[in-house]
């Protein structure tokens, strides 16, 4: 009942593929019941899961892993409860599968439909955090997909225990236990194999740092979606409400600096730089500021920005500041140095806002709002599996809908092509 799936990466990928049709055909009721049962089972298995996690934590501490990384790895009662609650929230979301997204009839009488369907097998490769195991399973299951997972070696004991618990709950609720499969070979070779199961894996989503992304680019043969960096800017226009601009930069930089939708750079129109920068600097107390020459003429205490600063995602209490001649220069600078994640303008000038949203090339462009709003929850999508900075398939927060595809269903009465 609760046997973990073990075997070669290929063998496990074949099992994932084999389970996909049953998951795709599962009713919303069955999927939601399995999600709620998995939430209950995680809490029921708390002792076992926390003990397994302790093994990972002890090993990490013994090998001198930095404290911040050990903290990401560590589970406790609260974190486990949050994982269970996450699964229940996904059960409450609307099932995207089966939605007819377009419908039309051709002159020859063919009735055309475009229908939302599961992707099939969604592979996720991720680094330490064990909560990804249940989060990824939850979103994949709700969208009718098999979750084919490969966590890091450092989280193997935790991930194995979590997966075992979920597999038990799923199979007790009449769905295939292979709805979630964890690859237990944590070697580098297995990671590369995992990226090359073409024909078995429909979509690969990496969640990790630059080394993982670069390995995907070099090795993957399966289709993938990259959850990219966020080098986000706040541009304060000549027509900005400076009080609003101060609130927005403080929120975007300081509310949670370690996340991808936090701001990394402040761009200011020269017409308001003299008034605005002293206000901003005072409000950004505790943030290390670096600026270009014009910014430093106004704020002499600020360090000099070097070229790299303009494209760096600090993920920390640090901010670069640049003064520009006009809106056009701001847009060009943002398009050149940004990562295509989230970019904001603060302005009371409607046409400046329109030009900014039209010309800035990013997943999300905001007028008079903090970049921190760019995530699945704040968009009203519910949970997300990442935020895509690429333009194909999914751009911006990836929720349930982005874990599906569409197919054409065509009804005729014997039509043949002339």
Which chain residues interact with a second copy by CB under 8 A?
A: 21, 24-25, 104, 106, 110, 112, 117, 119-120, 198, 202-203, 217-218, 221, 223, 225, 241, 244, 247-248, 250-252, 255, 335, 353, 357-359, 361-370, 372-374, 378-380, 390-393, 395-396, 405-417
Which one, of 251, 258, 254, 206, lies nearest residue 71 by Cα? 258
Cβ-based nearer residue to a second copy, 247 or 316 = 247
Neighbours of 234 (CB within 10 A): 28
State the nearest-atom distance from the C-beta of 202 to a second copy, in Å: 5
Least separation in angstroms between residue 366's CB and a second copy is 4
172 or 247: CB nearest a second copy: 247
Q: Locate 150 and state its tokens.
A: 């490969």
Of residues 41 and 370, the one with the C-beta less far from a second copy: 370
Cβ distance 343 to 367 under 8 Å? no
Encoded tokens for 248:
């927005």
Q: What angle do CA 226, 183, 213 make, to 5 degrees?
A: 20
- Judged by beta carbon, residue 10 or residue 198, the one nearer a second copy is 198
In the bound state with a second copy, the residue whose beta carbon lies nearer, of 119 and 125, is 119
Which is nearer to a second copy, 10 or 106 (by Cβ)? 106
Q: How far is the CB of 170 from a second copy (least distance, A)?
A: 21
Hey, which residues does 388 pair with through a beta bridge? 227, 396
**Least Å from the CB of residue 285 to a second copy:** 17
Closest listed residue to residue 26, CA positions, set 87, 102, 89, 91: 91
Asked if 175 and 144 count as a contact pair (C-beta separation under 8 A), the reply is no
Min dist. Cβ of residue 194 to a second copy (A): 15
DSSP letters, 256-280, are: -TTSTTSEEEEEEEHHHHHHHHHHH
Q: Would you say 237 and 352 are in contact if contact means Cβ atoms under 8 Å apart?
A: yes
Residue with smaller CB distance to a second copy, 159 or 265: 265
330 vs 362, beta carbon nearer a second copy: 362
Work out how close the CB of 125 gets to a second copy at its nearest, in angstroms, rounded to a whole number.
16
3-state class (DSSP) for residue 118: strand
Q: How far is CA 131 from CA 48, 74, 158, 213, 327, in A?
A: 15, 10, 9, 20, 42
- 149 — alpha (psi -120 to 50), left (phi > 0) or beta? beta
Q: Cβ of residue 117: shortest distance to a second copy, in angstroms?
A: 8
Token pair for residue 56? 């990972």
Say how far apart CA 289 and CA 284 lie, in whole Å: 9
b (16+ CB within 10 A) / e for 349-374: eeebbebbbeebebbbbbebbbbbbb
- Degrees to nearest 5, angle at CA 131 with 126 and 135: 85
Q: Kindly tell me which of 325 and 361 has the beta carbon lying closer to a second copy.
A: 361
Q: Which is nearer to a second copy, 122 or 305 (CB)?
A: 122
State in angstroms the smallest separation of the CB of 65 from a second copy.
31
User: Is residue 12 a contact partner of residue 183, using CB atoms and an 8 Å limit?
Assistant: yes
Pairs from 351-356 (Cβ < 8 Å, separation ≥ 24): 352/237, 352/238, 352/239, 352/327, 355/327, 355/331, 356/235, 356/237, 356/327, 356/330, 356/331
Q: Measured from the CB of residue 50, what is the shortest distance to a second copy in angstroms?
A: 31
Beta carbon nearer to a second copy, 66 or 380: 380
Q: How far is the CB of 198 from a second copy (least distance, A)?
A: 7
Question: Coil, helix or strand for 243?
Answer: helix
The least CB distance from residue 242 to a second copy, in Å, is: 11
């Amino acid at each position: 009942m609760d046997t973990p799936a073990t075997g070669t990466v290929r063998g496990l990928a074949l099992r994932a593929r084999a389970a996909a049709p049953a998951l795709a055909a599962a009713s919303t009721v069955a999927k939601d019941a399995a999600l709620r049962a998995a939430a209950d089972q995680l809490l029921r298995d708390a002792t076992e899961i926390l003990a397994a996690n302790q093994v990972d934590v002890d090993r990490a501490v013994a090998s001198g892993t930095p404290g911040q990384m050990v903290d990401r790895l560590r589970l406790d009662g609260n974190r486990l409860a949050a994982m269970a609650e996450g699964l229940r929230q996904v059960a409450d979301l609307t099932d995207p599968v089966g939605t007819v997204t377009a419908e039309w009839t051709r002159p020859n009488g063919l009735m055309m439909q475009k229908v939302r369907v599961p992707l099939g097998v969604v592979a996720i490769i991720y680094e330490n955090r064990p909560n990804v195991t249940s989060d990824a399973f939850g979103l994949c299951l709700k969208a009718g997909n098999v979750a084919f997972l490969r966590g890091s070696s450092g989280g193997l004991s935790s991930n194995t225990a979590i997966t075992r618990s979920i597999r038990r709950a799923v199979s007790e609720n009449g769905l295939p236990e292979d709805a979630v499969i964890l690859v237990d070979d944590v070697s580098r070779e297995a990671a590369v194999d995992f990226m090359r199961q073409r024909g078995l894996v429909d979509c690969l989503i990496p969640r990790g740092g630059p080394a993982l992304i670069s390995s995907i680019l070099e090795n993957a043969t399966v289709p993938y979606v990259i959850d990219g960096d966020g080098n986000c800017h706040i541009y304060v226009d000549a027509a900005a409400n400076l009080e609003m601009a101060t609130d927005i930069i403080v929120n975007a930089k300081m509310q949670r600096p370690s996340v991808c939708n936090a701001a990394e750079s402040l761009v200011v129109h020269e017409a308001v730089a003299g008034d605005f920068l002293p206000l901003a600097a005072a409000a950004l107390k505790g943030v290390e500021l670096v600026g270009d020459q014009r910014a430093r003429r106004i704020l002499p205490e600020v360090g000099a920005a070097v070229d790299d600063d303009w494209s760096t995602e600090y993920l920390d209490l640090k901010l670069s500041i640049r003064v520009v001649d006009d809106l056009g220069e701001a847009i060009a600078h943002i398009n050149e140095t940004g990562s295509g994640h989230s970019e904001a303008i603060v302005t009371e000038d409607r046409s400046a806002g329109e030009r900014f949203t039209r010309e800035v090339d990013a997943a999300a462009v905001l007028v008079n709002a903090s970049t921190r709003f760019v995530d699945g929850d704040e968009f009203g999508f519910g949970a997300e599996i990442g935020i895509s900075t690429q333009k194909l398939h999914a751009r911006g927060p990836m929720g349930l809908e982005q874990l599906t595809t569409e197919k054409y269903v065509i009804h005729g009465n014997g039509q043949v092509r002339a």
